[in-house]
Structure 1
C-alpha cells in the first residue's frame, strides 16, 4: 500500500475526533481542510453535462462494488468508496466549474488545480450534447423555457460554451500528471474496452471477462432506463422529472447522432460552421463531415501528440498521457502540506467502518422549502421578533455551519437557527437588490449534490441547491427558476 494512501487514511480518521467542529470549520484549518480535500483525490472524471458521465460512473461503480465485495445500492456514489478500502482510488466526478452555466468567453481556462492528478476527460459530439442539455434544462431543471433554436443562439451553456470547454482542455491536456480522453461514441462502439482502459488508468484491477460482461449489461441503456423509471438507485441523479414525459428522463435516448431529429437544417448548418471555425483541432473528430473530408490527409494536434483525423474517427483511441514538468517540485510541496495537515490533525471526511451514504438533494430541497414556509409565516406575525443581525463567525462557531458571503446590495431581514433533520441548520431571509424576497437554508451535512447550483421544483416552488465545503445550501423563492438559479450562482461565486 502506498505511503501516501496510508497517511491519507490515518489523517482522515484521526483529525475528526481530535478537533471540535468550532475549530476545524474556521479560518486556517477550514482552508486546510479544503486544500486537503483536493490533495486527497487520486484523479477526476471530467465532462460537460450530458456527455455520458452517469453511464461511465455506473459501470465503474458497479465493477468496483463487485471487485471489493461492497454492498452498496447506488454504484454512482463511487467517489466515497475509498473510505471503505485503502485499495480503492479516490476519484472525483465534476463538470469542472459548470461551463453549462456560462457563455463561452466566461469558461475557465485555468486547470492548475488538476496538476499531478489523473484526469479522464469524457466528451461527446457537441451537437448531441447541445440537444440533450436543452431537454435537461427545460424538462428536468426547468431553468429555460424557449424553443431549441432560440436556445442555440442566445442562452448560456450553448454551443459556444461547449466548444470553449473542449478548447480549454485541448490546451491544458498536458497539465495533469496523466490524461485520458474517452468519448461517448467510444462507449457506444466498445464499452468493454472503455471500461478496461478506465480501470487501468485509475489503477483498479482489470475485470475478468464474466465481470466485464455483467457490468456492461447492468449499465446498458435498457437497464439504466428501467432503473430510472423505478427509482432503483433512490437518487435524484437517476430520476425522471416527469415519468409521463420521455424527454424529462436523465437517460433520455442515448443515441449517437440523434441531434438530427431535433435540429433544423439551418441550425445544423450554423452549429457545423461554428464548430469548424472555433473548435481546437485536437477534437477534429467533431468537425463537420465536409471539413473532415477536406482534412483527412492532414495531421492535427501539436508536435508532442500528432493525431490524424482518420485516427480519431472510427480508429483506436490513443491513450494520452503527459508528465508534468513540475511534477517533482509539486511532490515536495504536497509532501510539506501533508506534514502540516497531519500535525494539525486535519480530516476532510469521516472514515466509518460502515458506509453511510451522504444526504441527497430530495431531503435538502424538502427541508429548505419547509424552512421557507416557516420563515414566511414568521414574517407575518407581529409577536415574532425578526433578527437582521448576521454574524457569520458566531454562527459558524455555534453551529459549524459556514454561510456564504452575502452580496453587499442584499438586505438580510431575518437570521434564525432552524431545527431540521439534517442537524444544525440556519435560515436567512433576504431581499435582493431587485427587491426579491428569498430564503437561504444552510446545514452542515455531507452531501452528494455537487458544488455548483442545481434546480428542482417542489410543490410548484423553485429551489436551487448546492454544496460549499461542509455546508449544504438551498435558495428558495417564489421566482422564475432561471432567476433563482442566477441568484444562487451569485451566492456561490461570492463564497
Structure 2
C-alpha cells in the first residue's frame, strides 16, 4: 500500500542509505521515474556510496588517500541539496573508515573480495549469461543464420527498450529478441575487434531502479550489469578481464543519458 505523503529530501537521503521500508522505497522510485535529472543524481550518489563500501571491503584496491578522496567526492555530490545530511554521513564514514583500518591492522586482511558477491545478482543477469551461451551455439551452426541488421528505433518501438550507442568501429554480428519473465528482451552479439565477441543484453525487469555497473562471474563468463530507470543491461564476455569489461559497460551506460 502506498501513501499520499510528498517525497522529501529526507526520503531521498534514506533511499541512498538503504533505510527505507519497501513501500516507501517503491514510492520514491515512482517519484524518480518521473524526474530523470533527480534520478541521475541519485544514481551518482549510489555509485559513490558503493565505491566507498568496495574500498573498505577490499584493502588491496585502495589506500587511505583514495578513501579520503572518495569521501570528498561524496561530500561534493551531496552538498548542493542536503548539507546537514553530508555532515552526518561524513561523520559516520569517518568512524567506519577508522574502525575498518584499525581492525585491518589488528586482525589482518578482510575476507571479502570483489569476486565473492555479498548478494546474488538479479535474475536478468543469469538470463543474459544463458543468452550469451546460446549465441555461441548458434554461431557454430551453419543452419542458424545471423541477423546482423540492427535498427535501434525499431527495437525501441517494438520492445520499449532503449539501447546504448555503440563505440565507433564496433560491428553488430547478430540481433535477437528473447522471451523473459517481464516481456521481450534484446541481445546483440557485438564484435569490438576481429575474433572478439561480446553480448549486450537488455530487458525491462519489471521495476524502476538506478544501479551502477557491478560484476558477476558465472563459469567461464563474466557479466557487467547495470540498470537505468526501467531498463536493465548486461554486457557478457568470456575473454575480457573484469576491470576492462566493467569500464566498457560504464562507457556504454553513459551514452544513455
Please confirm whether the aligned pair reaches a TM-score higher than 0.5, indicating the same fold: yes
1:260 Cα deviation from its structure 2 partner: 2.3
The answer to whether the 8 Å contact 1:465/1:473 transfers is yes
- Greater RCO structure (CA 8 Å; 6+ sep): 1
2:257 counterpart of 1:493:
no
Q: Closer, same or farther in 2 for the Cα pair 1:375/1:409, shift >3 Å? A: same
1:451 Cα deviation from its structure 2 partner: 3.2
1:183 aligned residue (75, 85, 89): 89
Greater Rg by CA: 1
Give the TM-score normalised by structure 2.
Answer: 0.71
Cα deviation 1:35-58 (Å, max 9, x = unaligned):
xxxxx954322899xxxx34xx1x
Aligned to 1:457: 217
RMSD: 4.0
- Name the structure where strand makes up a greater proportion of residues: 2
2:73 aligned residue (152, 165, 169): 165
Aligned to 1:443: 203
Aligned to 1:262: 104
1:489 & 1:436 partners in 2: Cα distance? 19
Aligned to 1:207: none
1:384 Cα deviation from its structure 2 partner: 0.9
1:401 Cα deviation from its structure 2 partner: 1.4
1:96 aligned residue (31, 40, 45): 45
Trace 1:188-337 onto structure 2 (pairs within 5 A).
257-262=99-104
1:255 Cα deviation from its structure 2 partner: 8.2
1:406 Cα deviation from its structure 2 partner: 1.3
2:191 counterpart of 1:431:
yes
Aligned to 2:54: 133
1:176 Cα deviation from its structure 2 partner: 2.4
1:422 Cα deviation from its structure 2 partner: 3.2
1:78 & 1:411 partners in 2: Cα distance? 43
1:481 aligned residue (238, 242, 249): 242
Q: Closer, same or farther in 2 for the Cα pair 1:82/1:413, shift >3 Å? A: closer
2:103 & 2:156 partners in 1: Cα distance? 52
Q: Does the residue aligned with 1:439 lie in a helix, a strand or coil?
A: strand
Trace 1:40-51 onto structure 2 (pairs within 5 A).
42-43=8-9, 44-45=12-13
Q: Does the residue aligned with 1:412 lie in a helix, a strand or coil?
A: strand
The answer to whether the 8 Å contact 1:461/1:477 transfers is yes
1:186 Cα deviation from its structure 2 partner: 5.5
Q: Does the residue aligned with 1:183 lie in a helix, a strand or coil?
A: helix
Q: Closer, same or farther in 2 for the Cα pair 1:168/1:433, shift >3 Å? A: farther
2:254 & 2:194 partners in 1: Cα distance? 18
The answer to whether the 8 Å contact 2:198/2:237 transfers is yes
1:418 Cα deviation from its structure 2 partner: 1.0
2:63 counterpart of 1:152:
yes
1:446 & 1:94 partners in 2: Cα distance? 18
Give the TM-score normalised by structure 1.
Answer: 0.39
Cα deviation 1:369-418 (Å, max 9, x = unaligned):
11111111111111111111111000111111111111122111111111
Aligned to 1:310: none
Q: Does the residue aligned with 1:262 lie in a helix, a strand or coil?
A: helix
The answer to whether the 8 Å contact 2:29/2:209 transfers is no
Q: Does the residue aligned with 1:393 lie in a helix, a strand or coil?
A: helix
Q: Closer, same or farther in 2 for the Cα pair 1:362/1:487, shift >3 Å? A: same
Aligned length: 228
The answer to whether the 8 Å contact 1:449/1:466 transfers is no
Q: Closer, same or farther in 2 for the Cα pair 1:397/1:47, shift >3 Å? A: closer
1:183 Cα deviation from its structure 2 partner: 3.0
Q: Closer, same or farther in 2 for the Cα pair 1:403/1:83, shift >3 Å? A: closer
1:426 Cα deviation from its structure 2 partner: 0.6
The answer to whether the 8 Å contact 2:49/2:74 transfers is no
Q: Closer, same or farther in 2 for the Cα pair 1:186/1:381, shift >3 Å? A: closer
